[in-house]
Amino acid sequence: MIIGISNKLRAAFIKDKSYRDTAVNKNWWQIILVTSLGVTALVWGVRELKWLQSWELKAYDQMLRSRPAEPPDSRILLVTVTEEDLAKKGWNLADDTINRLLTKLASYQPRVIALNLYRPEQTNLGAGLENPTNIISACLSSSMGRSEVPPPPNFPPENIGYNDVISDIEEDQVVRRALVFSEANDSKCATQFSIAALAAITYLEQTGIHVDFEKHQFHLGKTAFPILTPNSGSYKGVDAKGYQILLNYRHPNHLAPTFTLTEVLNNQVNPNLVKDRLVIIGTTASSIHPGLYTPYSAAKGQPTRTPSVFIHTQIASQLLSTVLDGRPLIWYWPDWAELVWLWAWSLVGSILAWRLKHPLLVVVVLGIALTGLVIICAGLFLDAGWIPLIPPALTLVMSGVSVIIYRTYRTQQQTKVIMLQVEKQQEVIEQLNILLNEATAIADTTAFYDQHSHHDSVVVTPRKKADDLLLGGRYSISSVLGAGGFGRTYLAQDTQRPGNPTCVVKKLMPARKDTKFLQVARRLFITEAEILESLGQHQQIPALLAYFEVNEEFYLVEQYIAGHTLYEELPPVTGLQSEAFVIEMLKGVLEVLAFVHEHRVIHRDVKPTNIIRSAEDNRLVLIDFGAVKLMQPPTDQKTELATVAIGTRGYAPPEQFAGHPRLASDIYAVGMMGIQALTGILPQELPPDPETGNVMWRSHATVSEELALILDKMVRYHFSDRYQSAATVLQDLNRLSSLIQTSSIS
C-alpha cells in the first residue's frame, strides 16, 4: 500500500530536486572516481606493456644530468691510456709497458690497483712486483658480441674481476645499471665479482669492512645495498639476474683525479696523490674500445660514448662513498605506492577540470600542476629518489581532458535539452497569449483580480492540524517575503532534510481557473521549472529544489540566498556609485547572463530587485526568471505586464514590450542599472532622444568616455545596435579594467 501511494506521488507533478541534489553530488564524485580509476588503469596497463619505459628512462637521465655536480672522489685516482699514449712510442700495451706502470704506481703505496685492461695474450703481467696481492686484473666474459677474454694466467682467481657492463639493450643501450656480482659460470672468465666491486671491496676490507650476501640485498659492513628486481623503479620486466644496483652517477667532469700513462711514467704525478688510494687503470682510446652510452651522452659538451674505465670508476666510487660517506643510493617505490601515486595525480586532474570548468583555465592550471609534478620529482631526485614522472603526467592530463570532454558533451546535451524546452516554452507562450486576448479572458481576469486584490496583507495563520501547516506535506511556512495579485513568496523550512534548511517557496496563481487556461498554464509552469532546474547548476542562480501543483496552484521551491537585493546598493536608496563599483556590478551580472544566454534562455526581468548580493561570498545571484509570470494577472502598479511583454518599465527595452524579447533585451536592462548607479535617476525617468529613441543620460553623470561608450552600446533603442552577447560586453569591460589598473600603476 505504501509503495503504491509512493508511486502515485512520483507520477504526479511533484519533482523534488532535493533528492537529486544528493544524487548529483554523488554523480560528480562517481564521474571523478570512474575517470581517475579508468585513466590510471589505462596508463598502468600501457606502462606494464613497457610502452612508456623509454620515456621514463629519458626523464630519469634528464634528472640525473640536472643535478648539481658533487666534488670528485678523492679516494680514487684514474690512470688512462690515451690515443696519444699509444702513438707516442709505438706502445701496444705489451706486458713490459704495463709492468713498468704497475711498478711505478706500487712504489707510491696505493691501497689497491685495479687494472681494467684485458688482452688475449698477457703471459707475464705483474712480473717483478714484490707484493701483487693488492693488484686486481680483469677478464671479459662477454660484451656486445665481443669474444671472451680470459684472465692473466699468472694472477690468482681471487684477484680477477670481470670487465662486463650491462646496458638497456631493448631501449637505447645506455648503461644505467651496475652488475656488481654475478653467478659463477664455467667460462674462462669464471669470477663472480666485477672488477669495480672487487676493487672497492678490497679497499674496504683493509679498513675492516667486509661483504655479506643475502637473497635480496648484500651488505658492505652495516650498509645494505638492495638489489634490482625486474620491476624496480620504471623498469618493467628487465633482466635483473645477479646482484644489480642503479648507477648513481657523478658528473663526468667531477669523477676523480685523472692522469695519463705517459704522465705517470715520466714522474709527473705527485706520490701523495697515489698513496692509500684506489688506483684504476684503463684505456680511453676509441681504437681499442669505442665506449658506451651513459645518461650523460645527451648532455651538452659531453662525448657521445664513454670509455668503460670511467663507468667502472663510477661503480667503485658509488660503493665507497655509500659505505664511507653515507651517499644515498638511488631509491624507488614499490609497485603499490607507484600505483597510488598515479591515481592521486589522476584525481588531481579530474577534480581541477571539474571544478574550473573553463577549458582555457583548465589548461593553464593543469600546466601549473604539471610544473609542480616536475618540481616534486626533481626535488626528490636530489635526494636520490626515483619516482614516476611520465605516467602521473599522463594521468593528470588525460583525466583533465577526459573530464573536459565529458563536461563539454554533457553541456551540449544539456543545451539541446534546454533549447527544446525553450521552443516548447515559446509555443506555450503563443497559446497563452491567444487565451489572454480572448474577450472572456478580460472578464475572468477582472473577476480574479477583484477577488484577490487584498492579498498584499495576507499572513499565514496556523491551522488546527499540524500536517496542514506543511505545504506538500514537507515545507513548513515560517513567514511571507512578498505578496500580491500574482501570488506569494514564502520563507520555509524543509522538514525532510537534515537540519530543516531554509528555502524559498513561490506560490503562483493562474489568472484564470478554466480548464483550457489551466492546461496551457500548467505546461508553461512545467517547462519553465525544467529550464530553471537546468540553469540552477550555476552558482549565481538559485537551485530549484522542487516544483509541484496543489489545488490548481503552482509552487516553486528554490534555494534560499541570504543577503540583500542590489536595489539597496543603488540610488535612490544610496548615493551615486563610483565607476569601479559600476564595472564590477556589470561584470557580476553579465557573468551569469553569459551562462543563461549560452543556453538561449532570456531572463526577461533583469532589475535590481531581482539580483541578490549573497551575504556568504558577496556574489550576485540572479532570481525570478520571467516567463512563468505570463499566467499571472497584472499588478496595480502596472509595472508588470501580464501579456507576452513581461518586464519592468525602464529596464525592459521596446522590443520586449512589443512581445519579442531577445538576448540583447537582458543586456539593455543591465546597462540601465549601470546608468542608474551613475546618475541616481530611475530608468523610467530618463528622457529618450526624440530622433533616435536612445536614452539621454550622459549630462546627469560624471563618467569616463570608455565606460560611457560601453553603456551607450548596451542601451541602444534598437536591439540590432546593441551588444549581441553578454560575453562581448564582458570582454570590453575586462579590457577597460586592465587599462584602469595599468594607468593606476604607472
Per residue in 229-257, pLDDT (tens digit) is: 999 988 998 988 889 999 999 999 999 99
Sign of the Cα torsion 348, 351, 356, 361 reads: positive
Beta bridge partners of residue 224, listed in sequence order: 219
Q: Which residue from 481, 479, 431 is spatially nearest to 624, judged by alpha carbons?
A: 481
The DSSP code sequence of 207-218 is TT--EEE-SSEE
Q: Is the pLDDT of residue 648 over 50?
A: yes
Identify the pLDDT of residue 36.
Answer: 94
Report helix angle 726-745 to 663-679, nearest 10.
40
The most confident of the ranges 44-58, 106-120, 470-484, 593-607 is 44-58
Identify the pLDDT of residue 288.
Answer: 82
For residues 436 and 429, what is the distance between their CA atoms, to the nearest angstrom? 10
> How many residues are present in the chain?
746
For residues 332 and 244, what is the distance between their CA atoms, to the nearest angstrom? 14
Grid cell for residue 165? 657492463
- Mean pLDDT along residues 411-425: 74
Identify the pLDDT of residue 185.
Answer: 67
Cβ neighbours of 496 (radius 10 Å): 14
The most confident of the ranges 27-41, 176-190, 371-385 is 371-385
| C-beta of residue 673 within 8 angstroms of C-beta of residue 566 | yes
Q: Which residue from 159, 11, 18, 127 is spatially nearest to 502, judged by alpha carbons?
A: 18
Q: Which residue has the cell 582555457?
A: 360
Q: Is the pLDDT of residue 619 over 90?
A: yes
Q: Is the pLDDT of residue 487 over 80?
A: no
| C-beta of residue 180 within 8 angstroms of C-beta of residue 315 | yes
Reported confidence tier of residue 598, pLDDT bands at 50, 70, 90: confident
Catalytic hit among 61, 605, 624, 666: 605
Per residue in 459-475, pLDDT (tens digit) is: 344 444 444 568 888 99
Reported confidence tier of residue 155, pLDDT bands at 50, 70, 90: confident
For residues 577 and 570, what is the distance between their CA atoms, to the nearest angstrom? 7
- Mean pLDDT along residues 480-509: 86
Does 13 or 389 have the greater pLDDT score? Answer: 389
Average pLDDT, the chain: 84
Domains and CATH numbers, the chain: 34-61+344-414 (no CATH), 72-332 (no CATH), 471-559 (3.30.200.20), 563-631+643-743 (1.10.510.10)
Identify the pLDDT of residue 563.
Answer: 94
| C-beta of residue 18 within 8 angstroms of C-beta of residue 475 | no
Q: Which strands make up the sheet holding 112-116, listed edge to edge?
A: 160-162, 135-139, 112-116, 278-283, 76-81, 258-260
Reported confidence tier of residue 739, pLDDT bands at 50, 70, 90: confident
For residues 583 and 564, what is the distance between their CA atoms, to the nearest angstrom? 19
Q: Report the helix count and the strand count for the chain, using DSSP H and E.
A: 18, 23
Q: Is the pLDDT of residue 623 over 70?
A: yes
Identify the pLDDT of residue 519.
Answer: 85
Grid cell for residue 56? 621514463
Burial 223-238 (b: 16+ CB within 10 A, else e): eebbbbeebbbbbbeb
Grid cell for residue 23? 544524487
322-331, 359-368, 420-429, 641-650: which range is least confident on average? 641-650
Q: Which residue from 224, 220, 244 is spatially nearest to 233, judged by alpha carbons?
A: 244
Identify the pLDDT of residue 146.
Answer: 63
Q: Is the pLDDT of residue 457 over 60?
A: no
- Mean pLDDT along residues 272-287: 91
Per residue in 376-404, pLDDT (tens digit) is: 999 999 999 999 999 999 999 999 999 98
Cβ neighbours of 456 (radius 10 Å): 14
- Is-catalytic flag, 456? no
| C-beta of residue 116 within 8 angstroms of C-beta of residue 163 | yes
The answer to whether the predicted template modeling score (pTM) of the entire model surpasses 0.75 is no
CA atoms within 13 A on the CB side of 575: 1
In the chain, the percentage of residues whose pLDDT exceeds 90 is 52
CA 727 to chain centre: 26
Q: How do strand 223-226 and strand 217-220 relate by DSSP bridges?
A: antiparallel
The DSSP code sequence of 652-713 is S-HHHHTT---HHHHHHHHHHHHHHHHH---GGGSPBPTTT--B--GGG----HHHHHHHHH
What's 33-69 look like in SS3? Answer: HHHHHHHHHHHHHHHHCCCCHHHHHHHHHHHHHHCCC
Sign of the Cα torsion 402, 403, 405, 406 reads: positive
Q: Which residue has the cell 591515481?
A: 343
CA atoms within 13 A on the CB side of 582: 27
| C-beta of residue 725 within 8 angstroms of C-beta of residue 663 | yes
CA 95 to chain centre: 64
Q: Which residue from 286, 334, 342 is spatially nearest to 309, judged by alpha carbons?
A: 286
Per residue in 652-695, pLDDT (tens digit) is: 999 988 888 899 999 999 999 999 999 999 999 999 999 999 99
Beta bridge partners of residue 245, listed in sequence order: 178
Identify the pLDDT of residue 92.
Answer: 62
The response to whether 215 counts as a known ligand-binding position is: no
